[in-house]
Amino acid sequence: MTDAAAPTPAAATDRATPAPDPAAMGDRPDSRPAERPDEFDPVPSRPDAGAPAAPAKPHAPEPQAHPEPLRRSPRAVDWDGFYNARDLGGLPTRDGGVTLTGAFVRSADLRFATEAGLEAAREAGVRTVVDLRNAFETRPVARSAWEERANAYRVPATREAELPDGVFGIRVPLDNTSDRVFWDRMREERRLGNPRFFRPVIEQQPQRVVAVLRAIAASPDAVVYHCAVGRDRTGLVTFALLSLADVEPEAIADDYAESAEELGPFFSRLDFPDPKEVIEASLAEHGLTVRTAVLEELDGFDPWTALTRAGLTEAELQGLRARLRGGG
């Protein structure tokens, strides 16, 4: 797998608070200044190039049984070892239609995906896996003290999945971790770790969003895309795709909210704190819930205008929409 995003200006984001926050629980950029400011800028190279040797299949503490969500989404896939994974099909659209199944699947990272699970994905038509994580999130053995700090409150780093023959993997980091000013502002506004960062990223940091959506648009057949826990970065991409498909706002909000239930077993299996209550409390300070935060981001949002301004072509937008709505 390779990074597909272009290098960014040399700077690093900073998370000043020493204690874990919902932004750090798996998905958001670390905010401490880099020892070498540009060392994490994505470059087209293998993510493990030069890294110390590590097991091909890193593992976390295993419970006696793999816990299952209390309530599974009817769109959840049943591929062995996939967590927080569900098809974007079957959702109601504003014109009374329903999105097509078999085009896009959102997921947490594939650290627990078994050979059987990955083969099931291939048999279901998946030909591309898009990894939204940064390079340092894919190295189980940190290269530096900076990397150790960067991953301090994230879920443990894990390598990219070893995919079956015929399934292509590409890593396109969604976060521009070099823009310290932007992420400091997101943290100060309490937008990290919840849907309130969706539109600021799309409208103010569009280059990475364009790179991800362009990679998805160019991928043949079904696509799985994921970040670390499949909630925030994956949620932003889902927000864009479902908006393009004119999915009902309530359904988009429901889809994001489902991650809270789906992620419980993933955090449990990792023996990692579930930030669900912390996120809910943070949003409550603004008079919001997880669902209403998504609806707030959707209010007045025009995905066609926003993504055209960002750099996607009309053909790319039409192609993405057609994958979920049919037609040319």
Q: Which residues contact 47 (CB under 8 A, 6 or more apart)?
A: 1, 2, 3, 135, 138, 139, 159, 160, 171
pLDDT 10s per residue in the chain (328 long)? 544 433 322 222 222 223 333 344 445 443 333 332 223 332 222 222 233 333 333 344 444 455 555 456 789 999 999 999 999 999 999 999 999 999 999 999 999 999 999 999 999 999 999 999 999 999 999 999 988 988 888 999 999 999 999 999 999 999 998 899 999 999 999 999 999 999 999 999 999 999 999 999 999 899 999 999 999 999 999 999 999 999 999 999 999 999 998 999 999 999 999 999 999 999 999 999 999 999 999 999 999 999 999 999 999 999 999 999 998 5
The pLDDT score that the predictor gives to residue 69 is 52
Question: What is the reported pLDDT for 327?
Answer: 80
pLDDT value of residue 301: 97
Q: What is the pTM of this model?
A: 0.82
**Range list of H helices, 142-273:** 145-150, 180-188, 198-204, 206-218, 233-244, 249-270
CA neighbor of 43 nearest in space, from 134, 129, 146: 134
pLDDT for the residue numbered 158? 97
Q: Exposure string (b/e) for 8-41, b if CB count within 10 Å is 16 or more?
A: beebbbbbeeeeebbbbbbbbbbbeebeeeeebb
Q: Please give the pLDDT value at position 49.
A: 27
Residue identified by tokens 């789906």 is 262
